[in-house]
Each structure stands twice: as structure tokens, then as C-alpha cells.
Chains A and B, each alone.
Chain A
Amino acid sequence: MSAEYIIEMKAVSKSFYGAKVLYDVDFKLKPGEIRGLLGENGAGKSTMMRILNGIYTMDSGQIFVDGEEKHFSLPKDARDAKIAFVHQEIALSGNLTIAQNMFLGLEKTTGKYFVDDVSMREAARASLESLNLNLNVDTLVGTLSVAQQQMVEIAKALMQDARVLVLDEPTAALSEKEVRFLFKQMRRLKEKNVAVIFISHRLNEIEEITDTLTVLRDGHIIADGVPTTGLTSNEIIAMMVGRNVTQFYGSEKPQGTDEIVFEVKELTNSVLDHVSFQLKRGEILGFGGLVGARRTELMSAIFGLDPLESGDIFLHGKKIVNKNPRQAIQNGFGFVSEDRKRNGLILVHSIARNLTMNVTSTFIKGIRYDKRKEKEIVDEYGNKLSIKMSSMEQLCQYLSGGNQQKVVIAKWLASNPAVLIMDEPTRGVDVGAKSEIYQLMSELAKEGISIIMVSSELPELINISSRIAVMHEGKLGKIFDEDEIVQSNADELQKEIMFYATGERE
């Protein structure tokens, strides 16, 4: 029996401890459709997907798969209904091979107890080949790149004959080139009549790859199944946030003064190749490049996390050394790292603790602990960044991605840096918070802070940066200055940047 819709959710509701997170959600998906699922963090996207995956059970409502009502209470139920998930965080074991991972929990056996490696490797190979992936099934997953691991996850999902594939922010860790590859695969799946649900915070990707959109806001469906073509980015954002975001990227770009605040000359170590650039007061210098361009490594070296073999760093014209982060902070550097959970926050600690971490010694002297001063600091930066918190004692693990990122930025602002390095400042942050962070960055620059921004999102790079530096394999290829950015149109500029990022031009 074949129904019009492969998946139909009717009036699905869900509450957690009295707080309703999904209100009568209706969702319909046709075979062979690529559906974008959009919404700010906390809108209910992941709850909805977890219900579909059998991780959560709904309070009320119905789910039909191919016209037949299903009751999901375990992930296995979803798997049996041929719905496959690729989660944002990769769920593979690094110490097992590709083949072993693909059959984890589904091992084929000879007899009843003995694993049948031969046929598993054979099936894994076939599945990788169907995706045109040139990988050896005996490779340890831990040695693969993030993009490759993701492809293995997708291959694993497809091997189980999935008819619906849910991709939860699959592009967050991918380079531009890898995103292209992923999209190609998604189109192939579409041809095979597989329905894909694609979750992403990147609007340009949504516009490019999806056929239709579902938008969630505060647990309500705002739109379901509307065609993507014909909607402008502003219209999509308006649906998500419920208001018109006219100035998504901030009013105007900071230009910076002629004063050179910071300069590096010929920085070299095992991964960097004679990198030199200057940073002006009050500008945002964007760093573009593909994954593996060594941008984060450059920033780590500047911040004293990684050693340098040669090269000099100058601050306000004076030669300085950042041997370790402590020295870098004392010299006036701040570093918002790309992975806030790992390097930016202490999730089990309060907002106040995290925010004041770099400036503890201003309010604790010996055993004199000035609580009022601590509160002043938290209030000042909490307000400046409009961090949404129930109290300053709230633990960071309960904050949304956007608010967590604001706490990290506030932490670095509190230490009053002259140079603020921001590595992927809007990664995993929802649209509303993204826009706020852009506004903030441009305000900070206007206040005279010099910002270095590493970004893998081209629209962000082009719209936020005063100047754009492009790296390729540890070398700095080109710096686009203000005039070049203003004079070329966005498409031209994107192409130019990609030329240098891929190393085709040096």
C-alpha cells in the first residue's frame, strides 16, 4: 500500500515537566522530497525529530508512515519503519573500522553467535560504493576527517534501506567543498525517492538544496511544506523569529582607523608557512578558507596555545611574545574558540562563574571576596550582550547555544582585550542570536577593539569583515581590502575567495 505521504504527523504534542514544547504539530512529507526544517534553537525541532526517532514518546497525536499508524517508543521502531538519522554529533566509534561501525548493533552472524566479518565488509563496501565513496572499509573511523565520518554515517543509514533520512545540522563541521559533495549525495537520494529532512542554520544552504520548508516557532508549526523557491531569506527569517530582521548583518561595516594595532611577521611552525598580516584599530579582519586551511592553528599560535618556530608578533608596534594563553591575555588578547563546550565554557558552572573567569582577581583579593563587584561585572556584560538568564547562578549547561556563545564572548570582553580573536563566532547559534552577535561585533569594532574573525560561512565573511584574508594549507594567499570588497558584487567575491581558498590562485 502506498500513500501520498511517506510520513505524516498529526496533532503531535509534547511537554516536559509541565512545560509544553510542541503544540499540535502537523507535518507531512512526500517521498523524494528534500525538506528544510527550520526554527531557532528551542523552537522544538529536535524534540520533534526525537519523537520521530523514538527517543521521546509524544503525549498526544499520531504518526503515520506510508499511511499506516505507527507507535514509536524505541529508536529501533523508527529504524524498522525505515527512518534513519544522522545526528549532529557523530555517533561512530573511532576505535572501530568503517565496516564494524556500519554494522554496530546490527551485526551479521554465522550461526547464532559468531560475527560474519566477510559478508559485513562486503555489504559495507557496496554501500560506500553506491555513494561513490572511495574509502577502505577496514580503515579506523578515528582516522577519517569529520566529513568522511559523516559520509560513513549516511552510508550506514542508507544500507538499512532508509526511505526517510534525517540530517541534523550535517554541514556544521564541513568545508565548502564537502558541503558540495553532501548536496550531490542528497540529490542522488532524491532520485532514488528517499525523502530527506535537512536541519541547518545556514540559510544559503537551505535555499540551495531544499524543495520545501517546515518552520517551527515556539513549538508551533508556522509553515509546513511551502516551496522554498519564491521565498527570500528575509521572509524565511521573519517566519522563524516572528519579526522582520531588516538588518541581519548589522547596519554598516566598521572600517577601522589607520592605526596598526597588531602585526605578525612570517609566523612559521609545523603547519604555518610564513604568515604575515596587519590588523588595524577598530576593524574586523575576516579569515576565510577551507577546513584544513590552518586558520584555527594560526590563531592558536598567536594566542600562545601552540608553539612557533619563527616569526614575530607586534602589538602597538612593540615586539611581544605570547608563550602561553596567560601571557596572551596579559598582553591584551582574547580568544573566543570555535568549540565553546570544549574550550569556552565550564558547563557545570554558573553564568557568573564563567563570565568572570578571566577577571576573578579584580574582585577576589587574598581572601577578600567582593560579591558586589562580581555582580556588577556580570550585570554589565549580561546587559551589554542581552544574555537571557533566570539568574546569574544559572548553570551554563541549561542555556541555549546562542546564550552560551554570548557568555563566552562576555567572558572575553570582561578582560578588556585590544585584539579579540573570534573563531567561528556563530557556529551552532540560531538566527536571532546570530544577528545579535553580528551587531555586537560591529559595535565592539566601533568602540576601538580590533577583531579577527575566522569564518567558514562565506555570506558571514563577506558581510561582516572590513577586510578578508584567505588561507590555504597554512599559507596566507590574499587579503581583500575594503575597496575590493565594496566594488565587487557578492557572487564575484565568493568566487574570488574560493579561488584562493582552494589554492588555485596564490
Chain B
Amino acid sequence: MTARTNRLGRSALTGLTWLVALLFVFPVIWMVVTSFKHEVDAATDPPTFAFAPTLEQFTTILDRGFLPYLANSAFVTVLSTALVLLLGVPAAYALSLAPVKQTSNALGFFLSTKMLPIVAAIIPLYIISQNLGMLDNVWALIVLYAGMNLPLAVWMMRSFFLEVPTEMIEAARVDGAKLPTVLYRVILPVVAPGIAATALICVIFSWTEFFYAVNLTAAQAGTVPVFLVGFITSEGLFWAQLSAAALLASLPVMIVGWIAQNHLVRGLSMGAVK
């Protein structure tokens, strides 16, 4: 193999990679393109590539009352993630740095709840929410999303906590720090990237959650996915509007995810292996 063919092979591989990536992400690209079309250009055969762009769809979406859904999603996502961290950080600490007997049982329990299909609980949850007057209430979603994400979060954070050198914690104890000080001033700053990664994953799963949102909320507490359900019957008539709505609905978590993709990789892999 000469250097020349080697270089050629490498460029070909790079070209292939780019091609695969673009093909793979094409539905998203097409969504973005379509969202700037007039409805007449959106659903055509053959598809229209040259068109006069417009922001009409975005204003229509906003007029159809998109913002309250967005606000609900943001509220639910932020608060449920905060709740997960509030409950999860001490739990992860207890499972990693101060383990006692039965620790692995507790860990196994947390993991096993993740195996519980959410459909198995939806009926009582619906009935309980109804009896408590919590149907179509953001707080119900906050609690449920926290419950949904907590096991994975505890498991991930535990792996990050395990990375903290025990000698450092001992040094802090010798330096005179009590447990809360050790936790907040020594351990947390060290595991901050891991906690950020965990929070990011909770944010993604909360923002995109569909099942609870559709079944337990409606106009009052509906989140962004519920808004999209309104398009289920549009049957090819409002593709541009649908694309604009899909783009707006996904944009926040897309941007967060893009910015923090390194955290995401780290978070997933740490939870994985350590």
C-alpha cells in the first residue's frame, strides 16, 4: 500500500462518513427547510427545493397558543430535574462513598424500578390524580418525571462519585470538615461535570416524555409533545406548520444537547462502566 492510495482511502472514508451523516440527519434538515415554506410548497410531488422562505408558519404556531405549552415544558423539566438532583445526590453519595450492607440491594432496587414499564402504573396514577384533582396539573408531571429519571440519575451519579479519591475525602475530614461541608465543598465541585451530565440526561428525557403528558394533561398543564398531538389529524395539509412546530418544540433541548454533547458522552459512558 503506497502513501498515495492510503491518503485516497482516507479521504474516501471521510466522504462516506459525511454522506452517511447527512443522509441520517436528513429528516431533520428537511424539517428545518419545510418550516420556512409556504404551505403550498410543503407537500408537493416532486418535492420543492427552491421556494420563497417565510416566517409565516412560526407566527401561526405562536398564534395557536404554543407559548404556554413551552412554558409548561420548561417549568416541568427544570423542577423535575432539580428534584432528581435534590434526592439523587445524597442517595448516590450513600451508595458510593459511604456504603453499608444492603447497598447493592438498594442499587439493584433502583435499577429494577427502571425495568417497570410505565404502562403498568398509568391506570392507578390516572385514578389517583383524578381523585386528588391533580389531572392536568404540572406538579403531577414534575413528581412523575422525577420518579422516572431518579433511578438512572442515581446510578449515573454513583459512578461519578466512585471516581472521587477516598484520600481526598479523608484529607477533608482531617482538615476538620463535617459531612455537609465535605459533600458540598469538596465532593460536589469535583463531581460537578458528572452531575451536569446527569442533569442533562434528565432534561432530555423530561422534555421529550410523551406517555404521561398525553394521558395526564390537557390544555392547562400540557407540555410541548401534547401540543404536537394537535397535528395528528392534519393529514398532509399543514406540513409546513407541523415542521415549524416540531422545530420549535425540539429546539431548546437540541441546543442544550449540542452544546453539552461532551458531557452527554461522558455521562452515558460513566453510568455504563465504572
**Does chain A bind chain B?**
no
